[in-house]
Amino acid sequence: MAFAIFGKYLYNDLAFTLKAYTQKESKKAFKTIEKYKNQYYFLGYIQYEFYKYLEDKNYKSKEPFLYFFAFKSKKIFTNEEKNLDFYPSFSSNLNQEKYFENFDKVKDAIAKGQSYQVNLTQELHLQSNLNVYESFLSLYPKQNTPYKAYMKNEFLELASFSPELFFKIKNKKIITKPMKGTIKRSNNPKEDENLKNFLKCDEKTISENVMIVDLLRNDISKLIKKHSLKCELFKVKTYPTLHQLISKISGKLKQKNDYFKIFKALFPCGSITGAPKIETIKLIENLEQRKRGIYCGAIGLIHKNKAKFSVAIRTLEKKNNNDFLRYSVGSGLVWDSQKQDEFEELKLKSKILEPNFYLFETMYYKNHSILFFKEHLQRILNSA
């Protein structure tokens, strides 16, 4: 039975699917969604390379960059699997040498004025003891993000734990929340609070966030009524392994907007490209030499007069003809970025793949005390 998960709901009772290989087909798909959005829940994804449809009406892809399910029903998603442990093994890990090489090329491009912020990414390949759905269920308890998603079709299967809102439409108002600025968490509550405060005050982080806010403010202005634009800056959002800096941009939509126009104005999200967007996308394509796929695209739902899409980060993807999963991480580079710091951020963002582990120690309890307690404690610490 076909089903999919997005946010806190599981969608089922599939009516039909929509897919597009060209700009023309994507326009047709969005028109179908507009026609039947009061009747069905349209849940799907748009791959990062969808921007090629937007640029070139003659471009045709080998696989669909747009795919939507039309579901009739939804219910609250409950995770009843409690004993699944995700243990990945990496066949292709982060490549520091290649990252540093591309980092230097980005710095050169910034110096020449080609870009002033670039979201540089790398892709990991991994195998798992679990299938993709089981991996989703295993990771879900510690990555219960607002835009978590699971989908499977004839082309691929994905499990996403994105914390980032691409855009939301409700009551003719559009909201986007770019996420730019990351710092690790601490087990010490006082130090953890200090890290949050540092993130809000760090000049480099603030600069990165403002650049992307300016870009998205420009993008969203194409869609909204005059004088309706509002910005709320620099809110820290906390997740299990890191803190991130988020800003909010909103406005009232003009009357004549369809979903193709909305995606043409906003896609891909500036937080995962950089700025200026078009030139930076070209630079990324030359440097990364791969298709990002679902990663950095959009995953979301359209129903009635509402829409909600995530930026597809923190996402596992498995092509149906591959025996491995793809997982990508990235960071925004500006002129004063330091290569080692940025590479450490990539490692931090891949930590959600680390499995839980447990230590078991046998101790002898006699006369109200544990024999060799200090030695046992040291052995546990050494094992950890």
**Measured between alpha carbons, how far is 115 from 75 in angstroms, rounded to an integer?**
45
**Measured between alpha carbons, how far is 289 from 55 in angstroms, rounded to an integer?**
19
Catalytic residues: 164, 180
Domain with residue 33: its CATH number is 3.60.120.10
pLDDT interval class at 359 (50, 70, 90): low
> Does position 357 have pLDDT exceeding 60, yes or no?
no
CA distances (Å), origin 94, targets 81, 121, 378: 31, 10, 33
**Measured between alpha carbons, how far is 200 from 113 in angstroms, rounded to an integer?**
27
> Does position 46 have pLDDT exceeding 90, yes or no?
yes
Task: Say which residue, 1 or 250, is predicted with more confidence.
Answer: 250
Secondary structure letter of residue 367 according to DSSP:
T
pLDDT interval class at 279 (50, 70, 90): very high
Torsions phi, psi for 228 (to 5 deg): -105, -5
The SS3 of residue 102 is helix
Where in the sequence is the domain holding 235, given as residue range(s)? 3-383
Tens of pLDDT along 51-108?
999 999 999 999 999 999 999 999 999 987 767 888 788 887 899 999 999 999 999 9
Domain count, the chain: 1
pLDDT interval class at 355 (50, 70, 90): low
- The pLDDT of residue 70: 98
Query: What token pair was written down for 294?
Result: 């679902």
Q: Exposed/middle/buried for 371, CB within 10 Å: 0-12, 13-18, 19+?
A: exposed
pLDDT interval class at 3 (50, 70, 90): very high
**Measured between alpha carbons, how far is 229 from 265 in angstroms, rounded to an integer?**
15
> Does position 27 have pLDDT exceeding 60, yes or no?
yes
pLDDT interval class at 372 (50, 70, 90): low
- The pLDDT of residue 358: 60
182, 348 Cβ separation under 8 angstroms: yes
305, 169 Cβ separation under 8 angstroms: yes
Q: What is the mean pLDDT of residues 144-151?
A: 94
Residue that has been written with the tokens 């990002």 in this structure = 292
Partners of 303 in the beta sheet?
A: 306
**Measured between alpha carbons, how far is 106 from 108 in angstroms, rounded to an integer?**
5
- The pLDDT of residue 176: 95
Cis peptide bond upstream of 163, omega within 30? no
- The pLDDT of residue 103: 97
Residues 6+ positions from 27 with CB-CB distance below 8 Å: 260
- The pLDDT of residue 376: 62
Four-residue CA torsion sign, 234, 238, 239, 242: positive
Give percent of the chain above pLDDT 90.
67
Partners of 148 in the beta sheet?
A: 161
